[in-house]
Amino acid sequence: MHKVTCMDCGKTERIEVHHGQHIDSDWAYYGKLNINGRQTSKYFLKPIDPDNLFGAVEKIPNSCYDPKVKPKNVEMWSCPQCMAQLKKKERTKKP
């Protein structure tokens, strides 16, 4: 059992998750996010050509880097009710 919290509404629930396999639930998983990323990254990557964001990049030293700060990852989940609202909004936007 895995405790999950919806990133949109804050609802908390326990669901069964098999690591490395499909999630048997209506909850949507979006991955992990490092909330201490600004202090834990030595460099920022800036595109050389602003029109081509996926092209060549240059490393810019991070002035906020602190080697004492450890990465803290949080999981991003969305509950079935919030997913239904999101899908409903997408359907109404399409002409």
CB 85 within 8 A of CB 6: no
Total-model pTM: 0.67
Whether 42 has a pLDDT exceeding 80, the answer reads: yes
Question: Which is higher by pLDDT, 79 or 53?
Answer: 79
What is the chain's length? 95
Q: How many helices (H) and strands (E) does the chain have?
A: 2, 6
Q: Are 31 and 78 in contact (CB under 8 A)?
A: no
Of 18, 27, 26, 25, the closest CA to residue 76 belongs to 27
Express each pLDDT in 3-29 by its tens digit: 889 998 999 999 887 776 777 788 888
